[in-house]
C-alpha cells in the first residue's frame, strides 16, 4: 500500500512564480496514491491556469469563495472537512500574513480557518521579503500554532537575488508529504531485529586493484533509517561506502563478498527480517596476486570464480527470517526479478531498473517494483520515483504489512 493511498490533500496555490511547478507536484503526489483538490488564489491564476491543474488533478479547481453553485452545498466547509492535509505551495508573504492574522477574505484563507486538518506551507518570495521582520513574526506565530513550515530553500531567485526564499523543489515537497503521513510506522517494529546488507563489495585483484560496482549504499542506508525509526533494532552489514551511517544502527564493515556472506550467516540467526540490498559481486578473482601486477603485456587475463549467493543461503536456513532480495536490472526487470524470487525461495523482492537516468546507483532517487510471494501467490506493488528515503519508508511499510 502506498503511503499516500486514499489521503485527501487540498493543494493551495498562491501568486508566485513557483506556481509553474505545481502541475508536477500534483502529478507526483497522485503517483503516490493521494487524492488532490486544488484551490487557487486570484494571483495564482496569473501564473498558471485552472484548466492545467484540473487536467492533472482530475478534479475541478476551486478559486472563489463566492461561487454560487459550489456554495449551494457550502463548498468551502465541505473542502475543509474533506482534507487530511492542506498544503499551500507556493505560499507568498501576503498569504502567510493572512493566515497568521486569521483573515478569511478568499477561499484559501477561509479554508485555513474552517479546517481541523493540519496545514503545511512552502514559502516562496524574495529573500529580503523572507527576512523582513513582519514575515518572520508571522512565521513564528504559525509555528507556534502548529503549522508546518516546509522551506524555504536557498539559491538564485527569479528577481536575480540569491538567498533564502525559493520554494522547495518538488522532490522535497513530495518527501515531506510522504513523511508526514508515514507516522503510523513509528514503533510498530519495536522488538524486531532487522539485518540488511548495503553498498558494494570489492574483490581484490592485487594489493592496489579491485573489481567493484557503482553502488553508493544510499538505498540500504535509507531502509535502515526507516526501520530504525519504526522501532526495530537494525544491523547493517556494509560494503565500502562514503555516506554517513544512520544513527543508532549497528554497522559491520566488510569489503569482499565472502566477508559479507560470513557476517550475514552469523547475524541472520537472530533476525526477524533480512534484506539483501547490497550490490554483491557475482564473481571474485581466483588467485589474488600478493604483489602489484605490472604492465608487462598488452592484455591481462583474470580467472574468476563464482561468489556464494548470500540471499539464497539466508532463505535456505531452517528458521529463516523474512527474506527480501533486490534485483538491479538493465533489461527485462520483472522477468528476472520473478525468477530470482521463486528460484531462491524469497518472501519478497524489490526490483529496480538501474539503466534509467536519475534513479538507482549513485542517485538520490529510486523507483521499485515489489513482488511479494505468499501461499504460492505472487502480488505486485509499484513504488513510483521519489527520494530514496521516501521509497525506503514505503518499502518498510510493505514489509511490515506482510510479516
Give the residue numbers marked as catalytic: 159
SS3 of the chain: the string is CCCCCCCEEEEEECCCHHHHHHHHHHHHHHHCCCEEEEEECCCHHHCCCHHHHHHHHCCCCECCCCCHHHHCCCHHHHHHHHCCEEEEEEECHHHHHHHHHCCCCCHHHHHHHHCCCCEEEEECCCHHHHHCHHHHHHHHHHHHCCCEECCCEEEECCCCCEEEEECCCHHHHHHHHHHHHCHHHCCCCCCCEEEEEECECCEEEECCEEECCCCCCHHHHHHHHHHHHCCCEEEEEECCCCCCCCCCCEEEECCCHHHHHHHHHHHHCCCCEEEECCECCCEEECCCCCCCCCCCCCCCCCCEEECCCHHHHHHCCCCCCEEEEEEEECCCHHHHHHHHHHHCCCCEEEEEECCCCCCCCCCCEEEEEEEEEECCEEEEEEEEEEEHHHHHHHHHHHHHHHC
Amino acid at each position: 500500500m502506498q503511503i499516500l493511498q486514499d489521503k485527501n490533500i487540498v493543494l493551495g496555490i498562491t501568486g508566485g512564480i513557483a506556481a509553474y511547478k505545481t502541475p508536477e507536484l500534483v502529478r507526483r503526489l497522485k503517483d503516490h496514491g493521494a487524492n488532490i483538490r486544488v484551490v487557487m488564489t486570484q494571483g495564482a491564476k496569473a501564473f498558471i491556469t485552472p484548466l492545467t491543474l484540473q487536467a492533472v488533478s482530475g478534479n475541478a479547481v476551486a478559486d472563489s469563495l463566492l461561487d454560487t453553485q459550489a456554495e449551494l452545498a457550502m463548498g468551502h466547509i465541505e473542502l475543509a472537512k474533506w482534507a487530511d492535509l492542506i498544503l499551500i505551495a507556493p505560499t507568498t508573504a501576503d498569504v502567510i500574513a493572512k493566515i497568521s492574522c486569521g483573515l478569511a477574505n478568499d477561499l484559501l484563507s477561509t479554508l485555513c480557518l474552517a479546517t481541523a486538518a493540519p496545514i503545511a506551507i512552502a514559502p516562496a518570495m524574495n529573500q529580503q521579503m523572507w527576512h523582513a521582520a513582519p514575515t518572520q513574526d508571522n512565521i513564528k506565530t504559525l509555528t507556534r500554532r502548529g503549522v508546518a513550515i516546509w522551506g524555504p530553500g536557498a539559491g538564485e531567485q527569479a528577481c536575480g537575488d540569491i538567498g533564502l526564499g525559493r520554494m522547495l523543489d518538488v522532490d522535497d515537497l513530495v518527501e515531506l508529504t510522504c513523511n508526514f503521513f508515514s507516522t503510523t510506522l513509528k514503533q510498530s517494529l519495536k522488538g524486531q531485529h532487522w539485518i540488511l546488507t548495503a553498498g558494494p563489495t570489492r574483490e581484490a585483484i592485487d594489493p592496489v586493484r579491485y573489481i567493484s560496482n557503482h553502488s553508493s549504499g544510499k538505498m540500504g542506508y535509507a531502509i535502515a533509517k526507516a526501520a530504525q525509526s519504526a522501532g526495530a533494532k537494525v544491523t547493517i552489514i556494509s560494503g565500502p561506502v562514503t555516506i554517513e551511517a544512520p544513527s543508532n544502527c549497528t554497522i559491520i564493515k566488510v569489503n569482499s563478498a565472502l566477508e559479507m556472506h560470513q557476517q550475514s550467516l552469523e547475524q541472520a540467526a537472530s533476525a526477524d527480517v533480512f534484506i539483501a540490498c547490497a550490490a554483491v559481486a557475482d564473481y571474485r578473482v581466483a588467485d589474488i596476486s600478493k604483489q602489484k601486477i605490472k604492465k608487462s603485456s598488452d592484455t591481462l587475463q583474470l580467472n574468476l570464480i563464482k561468489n556464494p549467493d548470500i540471499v539464497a543461503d539466508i532463505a535456505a536456513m531452517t528458521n529463516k527470517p523474512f527474506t527480501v532480495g533486490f534485483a538491479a536490472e538493465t533489461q527485462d526487470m520483472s522477468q528476472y526479478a520473478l525468477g530470482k524470487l521463486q528460484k531462491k525461495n524469497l518472501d519478497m523482492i524489490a526490483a529496480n531498473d538501474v539503466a534509467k537516468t536519475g534513479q538507482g546507483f549513485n542517485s538520490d532517487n529510486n523507483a521499485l517494483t515489489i513482488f511479494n510471494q505468499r501461499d504460492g501467490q505472487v502480488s505486485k506493488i509499484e513504488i513510483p520515483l521519489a527520494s530514496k528515503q521516501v521509497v525506503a519508508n514505503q518499502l518498510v511499510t510493505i514489509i511490515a504489512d506482510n510479516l
